Amino acid sequence: MKSVELLIERVILSSRWVLVVFYLGLAAALALYAFSFVLKLGKVFQTALDLDEAEMILAMLGLIDAALVASLVLMVMISSYENFVSRFDDKSIDLSWLGKLDAGSLKVKVASAIVAISSIHLLQVFLNVSEVEDGKIMWMTIMHMAFVGSAVALGFLDRMSLKK
């Protein structure tokens, strides 16, 4: 019976390597997103002289938003791989910051990034307020506040778990 238990434990533990497929998929998606960013940046360069101040701010916010999303994907990929699959063995690369990203702190960082991304989208809506329905603005604000509340709650819970 003990050998069956050991086999089950090995299978369950080895199944963590299935996650690598997801991380490689995220890496491919990040590469595609980088290509999309370069196209968007090229468009900003082409139209920079024709844009008024508000339009230029909106374009810059779009680029900032893309950078935040890309950082979020990278943070999830690296820290999740380190936490759930395997430690990085390359000693030539300083990965000391990874030790600070456990599952709880990763959730807080992801929630904070979502709040930042939501803030940028909401700011873009406010800068284009004349083109957006009032009801849509209200719902976007409510959703943003829900993200803020969730991030605060996750931060509070993470802090409580550290005190134990």
For the ranges 9-18, 24-33, 52-61, 103-112, the lowest mean pLDDT is seen at 103-112
| 78 confidence band (pLDDT: 50, 70, 90) | confident
| 97 confidence band (pLDDT: 50, 70, 90) | low
**Position 5 pLDDT exceeds 80:** yes
pLDDT in tens, 107-152: 777 888 888 888 888 888 888 788 888 888 889 899 999 999 998 9
pLDDT of residue 53: 83
pLDDT of residue 79: 81
DSSP state string for the chain: -HHHHHHHHHHHHHGGGGHHHHHHHHHHHHHHHHHHHHHHHHHHHHHTTT--HHHHHHHHHHHHHHHHHHHHHHHHHHHHIIIII-----TTS--GGGGG--HHHHHHHHHHHHHHHHHHHHHHHHHTGGGS-HHHHHHHHHHHHHHHHHHHHHHHHHHHHHH-
Phi-psi region of 88 (alpha: psi -120 to 50; beta: other; left: phi over 0): beta
Q: What is the mean pLDDT of residues 2-8?
A: 87
- Count of CB atoms within 10 A of residue 102's CB? 15
pLDDT of residue 98: 58
pLDDT of residue 99: 56
Q: Whole-angstrom Cα distance, residue 42 to residue 46?
A: 6
Nearest to 54 by CA among 119, 129, 117, 115: 129
pTM for the whole structure: 0.73
Domain ranges across the chain: 16-163
Q: Average model confidence (pLDDT) for the chain?
A: 85
Q: What is the mean pLDDT of residues 100-112?
A: 75
| 33 confidence band (pLDDT: 50, 70, 90) | very high
